Structure 1
Amino acid sequence: MNTQIYIGNLSFNATEQDLRDLFGAHGEVTAVFIPTDRESGRPRGFAFVTMATPEATTAAIEALNGQDCQGRPLVVNEAKPQQPSGGGGFRGNGGGGRRNEGGYGRRDGGGYNRNRR
């Protein structure tokens, strides 16, 4: 069993210490991560807590899922591994010129249209 826990529906005012106190009642907390928005720096409303043992993880999930924390019912479950994203690459519309005329082109649709004379 994974020892990392996902916490959803988290109050934007919750701090790392709040989570350490809440989860620490069920076992040793080894890490807390609260993701923040890149632009605003504000918390995104979820977090990850890593417990020291699988037993502590199970105890925390069972005790805290659905519990009210700062006015919001928490969603607490085992964290799933992050799925790889689609990667980079060009994702333009591929058709330059007008729609459905099969042109070659740029992402913005402008470009050479082989059907236009």
Structure 2
Amino acid sequence: MLNSFTRTIRARQSTFSLLRSAFPSPIVQFARDYTVYFGNLSFDASEHDLKTLVGRFDENVTIRVPRDRLGRTKGFGFAEFSQEDQANQVIGELNGMNFMGRELKVSRATERSNTPRDGGRF
């Protein structure tokens, strides 16, 4: 009986392994991140302004321009593209460009480190 049970478990594990390899995890499928960082943005730049600038590269681009507690922009933003070549093209064409009176610093977005920053509250 134990031997039969063991064979059943192994057969199910084998089937599961085949299915798993045929259908990659959604986490793996969608883990690609084509987010571009825009530094030195004008404090007057809005999500709409940044979308207007990069919309020709990808009409479905997602824009984020962080704001402080008072609603003012922080001088940087992010654009999330659907394809890597779009992100690379944006970096190549827009880095160093004058936009709203400031020279843009455009690069691949990187994950923020967990190190404490100066100026934080206690």
TM-score norm. by structure 2 comes to 0.64
Contact 1:3 1:52 survives alignment (8 Å): yes
Larger RCO of the pair (alpha carbons < 8 Å, separation 6+): 2
More helix by share: 2
Letter of the 1:66 counterpart:
G
Number of residues paired by the alignment? 85
1:1-117 matches, within 5 Å, as 2-38=33-69, 40-85=70-115
- Tell me whether 29-38 or 73-82 shows the greater mean CA deviation: 29-38
Aligned with 2:48: secondary structure? helix
> Considering only aligned residues, what root-mean-square deviation do their CA atoms show, in Å?
1.5
CA separation of 1:29/1:8 partners in 2, compared to 1, >3 Å: closer, same or farther?
Answer: farther
Q: Deviations over 1:37-60 (max 9, x none)?
A: 12x221000001101110100000
User: Partner residue of 1:113?
Assistant: none
Which letter does structure 2 place at the counterpart of 1:51?
Answer: F
Q: Secondary structure at the match of 1:55?
A: helix
What's the counterpart of residue 96 of structure 1?
Answer: none
**1:25: how far off?**
1.8
Residues 55, 61 of structure 2: 8 Å contact kept: no
Percent of matched pairs sharing the same residue: 35
User: Relative to structure 1, is the Cα distance of residues 81 and 58 closer, same or farther in structure 2, using a 3 angstrom cutoff?
Assistant: same
**Alpha-carbon distance, 1:84 to partner:** 2.4
Return the alpha-carbon distance in structure 2 between the equivalents of residues 75 and 28 of structure 1: 22
- CA positional deviation for 1:27: 2.5
Q: Which runs of 5+ in 1 are unaligned?
A: 87-117
